[in-house]
Amino acid sequence: MISASVNKFELLSTRALERIPYLQYFLFGLLLPFGFAPFHLPGLALLGLALFYHQLNNKKETSPFFSGLFFGLGFFGFGTSWVYVSIHNYGHLSIITSGLFTFLFLLYLSCFPALVASLFCRLVLKPYTIGASLLFSALWLINEYLRATFLSGFPWLLIGFGQIDAPTRFFLPILGVFGVSFISCLAATLISNAINKKDSIYRYNYLFLFIALLASPILLKNVSWAQIDDKKPVSVGVIQANLSMRDKWDEGLFWQLLDRYQQTTKSLLGTDVIVMPESAIPLPATYISEFLDDLDEKAKEKGSAILFGIPQPTTIEQHTFFNALTSLGAAKGTYLKQHLVPFGEYIPSLFQLITSWLGIEDPNMRPGFTNQALIQVHNYPIATLICYEIAYGNLLREQLPDAKWIVSISDDGWFGHSFALYQHLQMAQVRSLQTARYQISSNNDGLSAVINPQGKIENALPAFRDGVLKATIFPASGKTPWVIVGDAPILVFSLLIFLFFTAYQLLFIKLSNQTIAAKHKRRYPYQPS
């Protein structure tokens, strides 16, 4: 009875895949988000990539573009489902309008893996070869880079971020996130090659390369990329208020909010660095100058540096604002957020016509300037990032090697009880490992944490609870290889692979046309005039 039921289920599943040819690609894409937080199963991301690569090698699909598109819809539809939460719950749009915006955004993101599938099927010479593996890995890396930079970019769920839980994490200080994405793709394709090769010699060769690729990074485990000054400990206090978005922006509750921050901050005075989250104070400084002056004076008396998020007017008219991280006490300087969150802080240009037609107002946030001076905390220059900016590696790299540690502030309340909080913290871990710097991460509703230069969380507060996190960090100096060279080497390498296969195909087509023409001429030597 049970056997018959299982057989019937298998038959129905097979028929479903046959009748809906793109369903399997959608399912393959669904595997990738499991490689990221909060699941922490990097092997499943590699499995999804291996299955995608395997199916494309079979060349059974008449439209690889749509195969890649459905793969992307599975990947991003599950992995970035929090986009809908932000648009619907806090953009105050209807279910239908929010669903439409989310679908269009997912469709846009899915075009990138669709491009990978199209180019791979067009350029690959022989399936399940080392050449096919290199081509697929190069195309995937180029796809991630384009997605991270095109139209201001969306560098979320890059495969390299999820590998913080895998041995390949030790490549992060050398190759960066994009480089680890390339290595991960290569590993996934090698195991697929091994399974599909009937010749035992080739099979064992691919298995050996696969094992070597995943095991070799462990040799870098004990390498110290930076010099930690353990004789100069810095005490840290991180405030996690856990305010709902409704309460935070409620004018009637503003003075209660301010009093709460004031009392908590005063209890921490004497701590070297006190950090509050993004937009902790939701009104510009001009409205609360007395409050800030009093806090500044007390912080100086106790030798504390206070860092917090606050909106800063862009013009005298004060109709638009910067999202700022500013300082008081034993710190000086202000950082203005450069990369804004799509839909939350700005409307992407592709969607502005639709939002105008629907009568949706453009958010009044504006991006900050480039090449800003580093904030100084107790005469230490520090790197600062606000929210979404943790995903942009070059933004952090520009502040190094001068910065002695990293401070990132955020308010992930926009995304509700979703994957976003956990994915955000995972990216912060990657950046600490990648740059060999301590990081103080302050988030309004959680996962505030202190991360060490090995990318490990030393102390953290649970999500959706208020509290104060106390820890000790140390200044660091020095450069990791990635800080020195950035992403350029792996990008150039990938482009060279792509150009080689493109040139080969063009040459092959030209030679084929010449051969056909020669055969035709020999068969019909006399052509009518």
Residue 397 CB partners (closer than 8 Å, separation 6+)? 435, 482, 483, 486
Q: 435 forms bridges with which residues in the sheet?
A: none
Q: 92 forms bridges with which residues in the sheet?
A: none
Cα gap 347→324, rounded to integer Å: 19
CA 297 to chain centre: 39
Q: At what angle do helices 172-196 and 42-58 cross, to 10 degrees?
A: 50
Q: In which residue are the tokens 């932000």 written? A: 86
Cα gap 213→43, rounded to integer Å: 14
User: With contact defined as beta carbons under 8 Å apart, do 214 and 166 qualify?
Assistant: yes
Q: Measured between alpha carbons, how far is residue 26 from residues 57, 65, 465 in Å?
A: 17, 13, 36
Given 278, 345, 389, 404, the catalytic residue: 278
Given 144, 185, 248, 337, the catalytic residue: 337
The helix or strand, by DSSP H or E, that contains position 264, with its residue range, turns out to be: helix 254-268
DSSP strand pairing (305-313 vs 321-329)? antiparallel
Q: Is 389 known to be catalytic? A: no
Q: Is 10 known to be catalytic? A: no
Q: Is 387 known to be catalytic? A: yes
Cα gap 189→50, rounded to integer Å: 5
The helix or strand, by DSSP H or E, that contains position 70, with its residue range, turns out to be: helix 64-79
Given 144, 248, 387, 404, the catalytic residue: 387
Cα gap 400→383, rounded to integer Å: 7
Cα gap 196→133, rounded to integer Å: 13
Catalytic (active-site) positions: 278, 337, 387
